[in-house]
Amino acid sequence: MTTATPAPAPAPSGSIPDVVRAYLATSGLSQRALSLEAGLNEKAVSQLLIGRTQRPHAAALAGLSRVVGVDLGAIASAPTVTVADMQRILRETPPHGWSPSVLRGATSALKLYERFAGGGACAGSPPFDRASVRKFLAANTPASLGVSPATCAAYASHLRALLDMVGGGGRTPQIRDVTGRWRWLYDAVAETDLPQDLVWAAGPFFAWCDAQGIEFTDLTAETFVAYRDHRITHGGVTGAEAKHTKASKRARDLWNHLATLPVFANLGVRAAEQPFADGRVRYATPDALLAPLLAEFDEQVVPWVTGKTTPQGRPVDEILDEIEAIAAPPRSAKVAAARRYNGKASQNRKSAREERLRACGVLLAAGTWGPKRVAVARAGIISLVKCFFTTTGTLIETMAELSEPDLLEAAAEALDEATDFDDVGSSYVSTLVKLVRKIAVGFVGVGAVEAARISHIIVRHTPDRAGVSPRNKLKLQQFTPDRIDAFFGMSGALVAEVNAEVARRRAANRRAAAAGRKPVELLDAEIARKLELVVAHDIFCARAPRKANVLGIDLDRHVRDAADGTIIVELPPEMVKGGRKLVIPLNPRMSAVFRQHIAKARPLLLTDANRGSMMLFPARKRAEGHYTCLTVQLMREIHERVGVKFNPHLYRHLVGWVWLKNDPSKLPQVQILLGHKNIATTLKFYAELDETLALQQWSDRLEGHGHGDRNNRRTLAA
């Protein structure tokens, strides 16, 4: 007969640490013994009492409640404390492990906070909570506080540590604390093929919804505003309002995506309106207003611009059937044989077919758009129409209206003013107007005068420059010699870190074997991801290919061994801009890392979903396709190690610029490296750089020439 476990007693007043301390005092148990008896790790209670752990998760609270005999989960968050309370805690019961210097620093940080955030001697001690500290840190600078930047950073760190200490009884609920419908929904979302950032957004949002008692059918636009406000009030001290707004918008994107899936829609998940501005207030336009225009684009323009229909919507197959029916037959079998031999029959019929298709307004292969250009045009049209509506209050409802030169000119002007806020010049607007001109001429059928006026709009908005864009040029100017070394040495640094970690694990395994413990794996997914970044960075540096070329590498079709034992990546013309084969040779070091990645690291990144994939960088949750987040992670790594915000296209400019900087006479070699068809393209991109380099070389030569005595070349003494 089993004895029922008595239900925990109701929660007393006080905090969770206070209840645990009282139980330790009466029971005589050590902190370690209580942790183990509750089924937790041996330091769990110690970390809770010293304030290093905030509110324990549900399983830990249940275990402690069972042993202590008190329902710890029902204890409310710690009451709001003031600066005076914190100063008393530091004097009477300082946190365990804090050295005297840390205590002095924390005390000084509290005094500074009280002086600038308090309301004066008569207002009492100011509150000490996350919202107040965040506001204090955001509103002040080292200069306004009268301290050095280093001291300001140290004080901010002390204030965050003090907040963690007083927040030990009020940890924000996490998804692992949740049971019931919201936990089931989270587990279901984690099993889908949704982008990883949306899955990450699900956890904290679903946990908050569960804590608020919200049902699936209750979610509205106001729910996401309340979630944003909650994050601002209870989130991290360093999180600005824009960061929390972005997280709330991402949660709303997740929810609306779930609403499109039948399995979730059947549970009551319904799409919610966007309650936040989209980050560009000038574009704030209800999506419903654009529905007719986008329907025309999707249902009529796209079939035409991809070569499937005429501008009137007639399928191309019908026209081809008519052409075949009226094709003139040869006068005799001998003439037919001669035509086949000469190839003239097929050539003449092809020419007549293409001429007839053009006459019907059909776009042939060279004039059609691919999926990427269609997506760019659609997004650009949305931007033009939204910006024009926000600026003037006038809504463009059809493609014919958008093709009207006066309306298009006003929309382009509004969009140019709204996007070129850095005043560095951009071809964004002119590119969009070019796409609209194609639709206006071929689909809408505007006259020659209107087409000429649209061309004039394109000329007006085309930047008066050639070569590297101003934004990319500014980024190139941030590359000092040290940063260039760090950039090209990043692969070696990552490999060295991997080797050091493997050596550390080998040594740990030797100690574990001697002690009879289980060894750890020398390689794991974390190390494999580092090596994946190394391989991607090496390929970008070797030939500066475009992003799509790197991500699209197939091990079976595109990778081969050279005669000297190195690796060669060879991409076919259909994958390369310009229609020319692209050969990317890897040097011996790159080839060795490439082989090690394929043999040892890449298998660790394969799952049941992508086990059969032959992509060099396989998708994580799909059997086909590449890992789309790879370049995002690579750019983040470059930013952290080099200090410059990078983008994949900058590889092309940086490689060429560095080579020309070292030797301006290497222009033909740079042309070959970057795959330009002729040197004029390379000159166009680097003419301004080349001039700068030439002037710098002449300046250096002047510096090297002496005028009279050597002492005369010295700078003026202050």
- What's CA 615's distance to the chain center, in Å? 22
The per-residue pLDDT for 11 is 46
The per-residue pLDDT for 713 is 47
pLDDT tier for residue 137 given thresholds of 50, 70 and 90: confident
The per-residue pLDDT for 266 is 87
582: left (phi over 0), alpha (psi -120 to 50) or beta: beta
Tokens coding 507: 């040594």
Mean pLDDT calculated for residue range 35-56? 74
Mean pLDDT calculated for residue range 617-634? 82
The per-residue pLDDT for 2 is 44
State how beta strands 582-585 and 567-571 pair. Answer: antiparallel
Read off the pLDDT of residues 362-419 as tens digits, 9 standing for 90 and up: 888 888 998 889 999 999 999 899 888 888 888 899 999 999 999 999 988 888 877 7
Mean pLDDT calculated for residue range 629-644? 89
The residue with tokens 């370690």 is 32
674: left (phi over 0), alpha (psi -120 to 50) or beta: alpha
Higher confidence at residue 59 or residue 212? 212
CA dihedral of 439, 445, 450, 451, whole degrees rounded to 10: 50
625: left (phi over 0), alpha (psi -120 to 50) or beta: left
The per-residue pLDDT for 43 is 80
Decide if pLDDT at 104 tops 60: yes
Mean pLDDT calculated for residue range 230-249? 74
Is 49 in contact with 24 (CB distance < 8 Å)? no
- Residue 507, judged by CB atoms within 10 A of its CB (0-12, 13-18, 19+), counts as exposed
pTM over 0.85, yes/no: no
Q: How far apart are CA 632 and CA 636, in angstroms?
A: 6
Decide if pLDDT at 36 tops 90: no
